[in-house]
Amino acid sequence: MAVQLKDLIQAGVYPDAETAVQEALRVLWQERPQVRIDVAVHRYRTEDLSVAKAAALAGVSFDRMKEILAARNVPLRLGPETVDEARAEVEAFQRMRS
């Protein structure tokens, strides 16, 4: 017989469903490294996430993240693709510094 969410709440283990789900996700994130990697690859593919940020999310090194992305045939986005993008990055960086 499987434990249900309501059992955990009624037994006083968790005050509410939100807290129980958050704890379950936290444990899943810690105990299953592959989940972290899968989420990092997904977010790299679908968001404007850098390789470095994806690596941090996955809990792996920058070089290992590049290997993971390559193994999954995910194109790497390293640096700006055009001169205009490079200029925009430099300008944004200069604004941040001032």
Q: What is the pTM of this model?
A: 0.70
Residue 77 pLDDT greater than 80, yes or no: yes
- What are the domain boundaries of the chain? 32-97
DSSP string, 52-88: HHHHHHHTS-HHHHHHHHHHTTPPP--S-SSHHHHHH
pLDDT in tens, 17-62: 999 999 999 999 999 999 999 999 999 999 888 899 999 999 999 9
